[in-house]
A = this chain, B = another copy of it.
Amino acid sequence: MKLIDNAHIYNTQQKILIAVDCIIFGFVANKLKLLLFKRKIEPFRGDWSLIGAFIKNDQSIDDGAKQILFETTGLDNIYLEQLKTYGSVYRDPAERVISVTYYSLTSVTEFELESVEKYDAHWFDLDEIPELIFDHSVMVQDAIESLRQKAKHQPIGFNLLPEFFTIPELQTLYECIYQRPLDTRNFRKKILSFDILNKSDKKDKSGSKKGAFLYSFDKEKFETLIAKGVNFEI
């Protein structure tokens, strides 16, 4: 598809800078974390910031978000979802910029926890988030709220955990998101009732002497259920 011949028909209208900012949550060492990086440009160069970039004229906003996420973290587009657009006039004191936010949940290996440091990025615990530039703190709060809402209706944890995970790990993740303890038996019962987990015969003994069975997520069953409109409320 191409622009039609009457291009620049809107040329009396004002153009504005558009950015995307990505709110990237990860789960590692039984804690929910947020990826931030040290801003590379003025103003506020060196301050902590969400991962963001300006959108180019020939780039869709979805692609822009995927691209900046990939460039900064090496992560391929897992569960990248548009959140909200922030468009007050003076949110960036340098110049008018409208920002479209996206958020992403991803599993983080111990290796990745370290490796982002060379990009001047860092995974912060949710309760240790530093002061952020502009309205980025508001964006983070909005994203957490949205994450909680979402977790109520979809088994969200699967994006945040590695391929194999234990049920206690999954429970801890939900407890981090909801910020309250859950009953072990009820949680197991509920999660297993969805019938989207495959039990392996291996155990992870890093958490206890007894060891917990490793499960994987059955993507096919999950897609089938989503298509049916099943509610995954925890």
Contacts and interface: CB of A to CB of B under 8 A. Distances in A.
Nearest to A11: B95
A137 interface: no
Interface residues of A, number: 42
A99 to B, nearest CB: 10
A51 to B, nearest CB: 17
Nearest to A90: B1
B98 A61 contact: yes
A112 B17 CA distance: 38
Copy tally for this chain in the complex stands at 2
Contacts of A96: 3, 57-58
Interface string A68-86: 0000000000000010110
A29 interface: no
Nearest to A60: B88
Given A18-B16, A57-B96, A96-B57, A2 B85 contact: no
Contact of A15 (B17, B85, B88, B93): B17
A56 B14 contact: yes
Given A87-B60, A87-B61, A55 B16 contact: yes
B88 A57 contact: no
A21 B4 CA distance: 22
Contacts of A97: 10
27 contacts: A1-B90, A2-B90, A2-B93, A3-B96, A6-B94, A8-B95, A9-B41, A9-B42, A10-B94, A10-B97, A13-B17, A13-B54, A14-B17, A14-B54, A14-B56, A14-B57, A15-B18, A16-B55, A55-B98, A58-B96, A60-B87, A60-B88, A62-B88, A82-B85, A85-B85, A85-B100, A87-B100
